[in-house]
Amino acid sequence: MRDVAIIGIGMTRFGELWESSIRDLCVEAALACFNDAGIDRLDSITIGSMSSGLFTGQEHLASLVPDYLGRRNVPAVRVESACASGGQAVRTAFLEVASGMSDVVLAIGIEKMTDVSGGEATYALATAADQDYEAFHGVTFPGLYAMMARAHMERFGTTRDQLAQVAVKNHENGSHNPHAQFPFTVTRKQVINSVMIADPLTLLDCSPITDGAAAVLVAPAEMARELQRGPLTVITGIGHATDTISIAHRADLLHLDAIELASSRALGMAGKTIEDIDFAEVHDCFTIAEILVLESMGVVPAGQGGPATLDGLTALDGDFPVNPSGGLKSKGHPVGATGVAQICEAVTQLRGAAGDRQIPNARIALTQNMGGSGGSSVVHIVEAR
Amino acid sequence: MQVPRFWREIPRYYRLEAAACVQCDAIHFPPRKICPSCGANAFETVRLSGRGALTTFTIIRTPPSGFTDQAPYAVGIVELDEGVRLMAQITDCDVDTLKTGDRMIAKFRRIREEGRTGVIMYGYKFVPDVGV
């Protein structure tokens, strides 16, 4: 396999973007990405979108996107793995380049979520769960994670303060991110006292409904060296794994096998251990999710995610900074875009271009993107060379 | 929703029919055609007891479309005495007094209906098993 570098990144603002359609968002992110890369060549496109059909009525993004990029005839494919669709798009682009099939591939992640009502969006998101044996009973995504949160609190003594600190920390980070949907800070008291969504999770435990797109351009590392625009950022590891779609079928509700396997496979491919990682962008769709991911990846032992968060381990100036971008919580979560946006943040940090949220001397990044309640996960290791 | 999509699940929704692996005895609900425990593909149909204990739950206060008339309602995971875990609503109780470990029993209930002329869906919900 060839070494694969990221030669360009681009994002739209994340938020309720009433004036922008799904095609507008894809084009805006791609244009930003081409401008960043400084090249005008494209061999192939991969598109990650969880449910453009339910959210906007538009399927066949594999024709729409190249068409409106002015790249008719370029091959394009949409990949889907619920909220991990973006990570899947980057992985697919990586495979095309690594295999020698294509040289310059654009991976776009997109979700346009505000063209439907809140109830319809909640329904669309719940299609990532088992339709006949979970969603049939009226459970929502906050509901699934709430059941994990209750179990975590009862087994390990995790507190409401510890959960809330995940939101406090990520909003603090997001307040320095110009792309963030909610770039304001919150207090633990505000998180705990916000409206209850699914006990014990409140509104501020949940990532928002968001419109947005993100794009990365990948190419062989040797081509990237010739382009010589800033530090070389190379994808050195990719891990991907799956798990049961129903949370009731997991051997341990509080250990996300797909996350453990995806991260260990990615680290193994890169020849690294979790201790080598300078910072991580992880899938904090809910506050409890960030804690479960930290534990499942082995950053902390099972049950220690809450206390470690409260102690500042994952803060911007902590020993293992997590979600310097603000994460899904503050930056926003346009589901199909999230996995690509995580890579954009990784590259921004590795270039030293993250401004007030910059992690000093960041050289090795891990991004973890999760589908549904942990039924799939894609992990990337990105290194500055 | 077209009727067949609901109708074909009736053996599971109405009668809790599960698949018992003839090779390793693992019980799967919903039934499967390949046993994830041992890889075998021969099963016997068994009916679940419907009795078990609540392992975790939540109270849905922001429901998806189709359930807006029911909120707030409790949804939980019950581990049946035969070791099978099911997710379902918990009803016929004060949701604010629910505790993990509570004994539960599955009952036949209406799940939801699709407007005035659509499908009325029935299935299992759990209620506190006060008789144990």
- pLDDT, residue A40, reads 87
Looking only at the bridges linking them, the beta strands covering B51-60 and A212-220 are: unpaired
pLDDT for A174 equals 98
Residues of B in contact with A119 (CB under 8 A): 63-65, 68
Residue A372 touches partner B, C-beta closer than 8 Å = no
pLDDT of residue A195: 98
Angle between helices A61-68 and A22-37 (to 10 degrees): 50
Phi first, then psi: give them for residue B62, nearest 5 degrees.
-120, 95
Cα torsion through A261, A330, A114, B63, rounded to 10: 70
| Neighbouring C-beta atoms of residue A59, cutoff 10 Å | 14
Amino acid at B102: D
A373: left (phi over 0), alpha (psi -120 to 50) or beta: alpha
- Kindly tell me the number of DSSP H helices and DSSP E strands found in chain B: 2, 8
Residue B115: what pLDDT? 83
pTM reported for the whole predicted model: 0.97
Q: Is the CB of A198 less than 8 angstroms away from the CB of B58?
A: yes
Residues of chain A positioned with their CB less than 8 A from the CB of B65: 117, 119-120, 122-123
Residues B43, B41: Cα–Cα separation, whole Å: 7
* Distance separating the N- and C-terminal Cα atoms of chain B: 39
ipTM of the complex: 0.97
Q: How far apart are CA A226 and CA A222, in angstroms?
A: 7
Which stretch of A137-146, A234-243, A361-370, B107-116 has the lowest confidence by average pLDDT?
A: B107-116
Provide the Cα torsion B47, B53, B58, B64; round to 10°: 10
Q: In degrees rounded to 5, what are phi and psi of residue B61?
A: -110, -20
Q: How confident is the model at residue B132 (pLDDT cuts 50, 70, 90)?
A: low
CA distance B43 to chain A (A): 18
Among the four given CATH numbers 3.30.70, 1.20.1050, 2.60.40, 2.40.50, the one describing domain B49-132 = 2.40.50
If contacts are CB pairs under 8 Å, which of residues 151-210 in chain A contact chain B? 151, 154, 195-201
Q: What are the φ and ψ backbone dihedral angles of A132, each rounded to 5 degrees?
A: -90, -20
Would the CB atoms of B63 and A142 count as touching at under 8 Å?
no
pLDDT score at B130:
87
> How far out from the chain centre does Cα B13 lie?
7
CA closest to B28 among chain A residues = A249
Which range has the worst mean pLDDT, A284-298, B46-60, B112-126?
B112-126
Angle formed by the axes of helices A141-156 and A287-296, to 10°? 60
pLDDT band, very low/low/confident/very high, at A190 (cuts 50, 70, 90): very high
- Sequence-distant (6+) residues with CB within 8 A of A197 are A142, A146, A203, A205, A206, B61, B62
Q: Which amino acid is at A100?
A: G
- What is the DSSP pairing of strand B85-90 with strand B27-28? unpaired
Go through A103-121 and write b for each residue having 16 or more CB atoms within 10 A of its CB, e for each that does not: bbbbbbbbbbbbebeeeeb
Domains of chain A with CATH codes: 4-117+210-227 (3.40.47.10), 138-208+236-384 (3.40.47.10)
> Count of CB atoms within 10 A of residue A308's CB?
22
State the sign of the Cα–Cα–Cα–Cα dihedral A214, A135, B104, B18: negative
Residue A27 has pLDDT above 70, yes or no: yes
Partners of B18 on chain A (C-beta within 8 Å) are none
Question: How far, in Å, CA of A51 to CA of B69, rounded?
Answer: 26
Residue A172 and residue A309: Cα distance in Å, rounded?
14
Kind of pairing, strands A201-202 and A196-198? antiparallel
What dihedral angle (degrees, nearest 10) is formed by the CA atoms of A51, A57, A62, A63? -170
Residue B26 touches partner A, C-beta closer than 8 Å: no
pLDDT in tens, B14-24: 999 999 999 99
Cβ atoms < 10 Å from Cβ of A333? 27
The verdict on a CB contact (< 8 Å) between B65 and A198 is no
User: Domain extents for chain B?
Assistant: 1-47, 49-132
Q: Which candidate, A168, A184, A210, places its Cα nearest to that of A17?
A: A210
Q: What is the pLDDT of residue B116?
A: 84
Nearest to A150 among B56, B67, B125 (CB): B56
Whether pLDDT at A227 is above 90: no
Nearest CB partner across the interface for B58, out of A122, A150, A248 = A150
Clarify whether A137 is annotated catalytic: no
Which chain A positions have a beta carbon within 8 Å of B56's beta carbon?
147-148, 150-151, 154, 253
DSSP B96: G
Which residue of chain B comes nearest to A206, CA vs CA? Answer: B62
Cα→Cα distances B11→A245, B77, B80, B113, Å: 21, 20, 18, 19
Q: Which residue has the tokens 């290194």?
A: A383
Mutation site for A-interface testing, chosen from B8, B48, B60 by largest number of A Cβ within 10 Å: B60
Cα separation of B7 and B30, whole Å? 15
**Tens of pLDDT along A32-86?**
999 999 998 999 999 999 999 999 999 999 999 999 999 999 999 999 999 999 9
As a whole number of angstroms, the distance between CA A66 and CA A73 comes to 8
Query: For chains A and B, what is the number of CB pairs under 8 angstroms?
Result: 99
CA atoms within 13 A on the CB side of B43: 23
Q: Mark whether A83 is an active-site residue.
A: yes
- The token pair that represents A160 in the structure block: 């409401």
Summarize pLDDT for A236-269 with one digit per residue, the tens: 999 999 999 999 999 999 999 999 999 999 999 9
Q: Which residue among the candidates A83, A206, A285, A344 is catalytic per the annotation?
A: A83
Q: Residue for token digits 């996350």?
A: A259
- What integer pLDDT is reported at residue B2 of this predicted model? 85
Task: Say what the pLDDT of residue B1 is.
Answer: 76
B11 contact A CB<8A = no
Partners of B62 on chain A (C-beta within 8 Å) are 118, 122, 140, 142, 197-198
Distance CA A66, CA B51 (A): 55
